[in-house]
């Protein structure tokens, strides 16, 4: 099944797009294999170099390993449709934006957090790690459970790990995985 999914998700591109863009997709089956600490450090080393408005770097990440109490807390805040496949993912990352810093309110904080998560996703993919971002979680509840500082605003949870076997995946989840990748064709206009 894993090979079948990889084939479905493999994108063909007429232009010389780097392989890690084409290989990436957001899987719903992760192996429980642990991520080497050095790889996790590499991912966040890359994230640090993300550009941001006025270089304010309005992001913060909480990393929870499977088995830890923080992991269970984050898991408990996920929507039911996410909980069903996020069980043994080795790492859950809660990505927060910092809405207000020493310079005041930051209206580009969410934009910049998004860029930093893109860096995370692609550096991870280059290392052979898959990721799946989720907006389906209770932001207020996670803030309370993890006692987050007031200025750290939870925005997305990221499942990170190696691709799983796809055995024993509930039918309703597997059916989503079997869908071919889809994108809009027209996303830019060259202006005169
Ligand atoms: C901000 C954001 C929130 C998302 N939330 C969820 C989610 O709660 N559950 C889920 O299964 N996928 C979620 N996704 C994954 C998207 O559905 C997925 O990226 C999109 O369908 C494109 O598929 P691909 O990443 O495999 O190319 C989210 C992605 C992003 C960027």
Enumerate residues 6+ apart whose C-beta is below 8 A from 173.
28, 29, 84, 85
Give residue 179 CA to ligand 1 midpoint distance, Å. 13
What's the pLDDT at 180? 92
Give residue 134 CA to ligand 1 midpoint distance, Å. 6
User: For ligand 1, is residue 181 a contact (CB within 6 Å)?
Assistant: yes
In a domain, residue 187? The reply is no
Q: Which domain holds residue 67?
A: 2-177
Over range 138-161, report the average pLDDT.
Answer: 98
Minimal-distance CA residue to ligand 1 atom 31: 133
In a domain, residue 27? The reply is yes
What's the pLDDT at 9? 94
pLDDT band at 168 (very low <50, low <70, confident <90, very high): confident
Q: Mean pLDDT score of the chain, rounded to an integer? A: 96
pLDDT band at 71 (very low <50, low <70, confident <90, very high): very high
In a domain, residue 188? The reply is no
In a domain, residue 182? The reply is no
User: For ligand 1, is residue 82 a contact (CB within 6 Å)?
Assistant: yes
What is the chain's length? 192
In a domain, residue 71? The reply is yes
What's the pLDDT at 49? 98
List, for residues 12-34, the tens digit of each pLDDT value: 899 999 999 999 999 999 999 99
Domain of 122, CATH number, reads 3.40.109.10
Please give the model's pTM, rounded to 2 decimal places: 0.97
Give residue 26 CA to ligand 1 midpoint distance, Å. 7
Domain count of the fold of the chain: 1
In a domain, residue 186? The reply is no
CA distances 167 to 1, 5, 10, 13, Å, are 7, 12, 20, 30
Pull the structure tokens for residue 10.
Answer: 């493999």
User: For ligand 1, is residue 8 a contact (CB within 6 Å)?
Assistant: no
* Rounded distance between C-alpha atoms, residue 151 and residue 106, angstroms: 11
**Do residues 42 and 123 lie in contact, with contact meaning Cβ atoms separated by under 8 Å?**
yes
For residue 88, pLDDT beyond 90:
no
In a domain, residue 185? The reply is no
Mutate to test the pocket of ligand 1, among 59, 135, 139 (most ligand atoms within 8 A of CB): 135
In a domain, residue 69? The reply is yes
């Amino acid at each position: 099944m894993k090979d079948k999914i990889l084939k479905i998700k493999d994108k063909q591109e007429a232009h010389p797009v780097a392989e890690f863009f084409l290989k990436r997709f957001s899987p719903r089956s992760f192996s429980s294999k642990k991520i080497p600490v050095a790889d996790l450090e590499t991912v966040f080393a890359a994230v640090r170099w993300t550009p941001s408005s006025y270089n304010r770097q309005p992001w913060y990440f909480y990393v929870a390993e499977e088995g830890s109490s923080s992991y269970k807390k984050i898991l408990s805040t996920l929507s039911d449709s996410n909980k069903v496949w996020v069980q043994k993912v080795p790492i859950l990352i809660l990505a927060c934006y910092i809405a207000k810093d020493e310079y005041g309110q930051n209206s580009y904080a969410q934009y910049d957090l998004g860029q930093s998560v893109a860096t995370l996703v692609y550096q991870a993919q280059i290392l052979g790690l898959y990721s799946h971002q989720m907006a389906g979680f209770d932001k207020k509840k996670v803030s309370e459970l993890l006692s987050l500082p007031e200025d750290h605003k939870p925005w997305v949870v990221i499942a990170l790990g190696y691709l799983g076997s796809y055995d024993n995946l509930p039918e309703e989840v597997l059916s989503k995985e079997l869908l071919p990748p889809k994108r809009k064709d027209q996303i830019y206009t060259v202006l005169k």
